[in-house]
Amino acid sequence: MTGKPEQGAATGRVPELNWGDAHHTEIQLRYGDLDAMGHVNNARYAEFLEVARLALARDLGIELAGRSVLARLELDYVRDIRPGQRVLIETLVERTGRTSWTSVSRILADQVPCAFSRSVVVRVDDQGRPEPLPEELKAQVAPWLVRP
């Protein structure tokens, strides 16, 4: 793998965003994150992104449990993550819609981008049907919205 991302679903314009405005989540690597190749298993990247989304929601005071579902996850791998590297996820909110919000993230290892992602989270009612995002939630994520 190279350090330069190829054009993929998540990479689009994601690498070019102002990551200085991003929410940061540090990930502690565990032995179980590694696969037989000695690097972090690709499935763990999605778990790391979930941790970052939940940390962002927690830091904003947003209650996601039971009210939100991950509807879409795009993930473009750029390079592998090895044991001993410092892993950080930077997350921005790309947009808020009527019933969903879209976040973009990049996973860094020792400050080098390893993956880019885009996630769509839909707010649901008690029957699991999409429901409008509360204006309060939109206001809470506003500080993390992508800036042009």
**With contact defined as beta carbons under 8 Å apart, do 104 and 33 qualify?**
no
67 in any annotated domain: yes
Per-residue pLDDT of the chain (148 residues; tens, 9 = 90+): 444 444 555 555 576 788 988 999 999 999 999 999 999 999 999 999 999 999 998 998 887 667 899 999 999 999 999 999 999 999 999 999 999 999 999 999 999 999 999 999 999 999 999 999 999 889 988 888 887 6
4 in any annotated domain: no
126 in any annotated domain: yes
Please provide residue 54's backbone torsions phi and psi, each rounded to the nearest 5 degrees: -65, -35
pLDDT at 66: 72
- How many C-beta atoms lie closer than 10 Å to residue 87's C-beta? 20
124 in any annotated domain: yes
CA distance 98 to 138: 10
115 in any annotated domain: yes
pLDDT at 39: 94
Cross-strand bridge partners of residue 112? 109
Residue range of the domain that includes 96 = 14-144
Query: How many domains in the chain?
Result: 1
127 in any annotated domain: yes
Strands, sheet with 100-109, edge to edge from the N-terminal-most edge strand:
23-27, 87-96, 100-109, 112-123, 68-77
Domain harbouring 21, CATH code: 3.10.129.10
Residue 97's alpha-carbon distances to 37, 81, 88, 120, 148, in angstroms, are 40, 33, 27, 10, 18
105 in any annotated domain: yes
108 in any annotated domain: yes
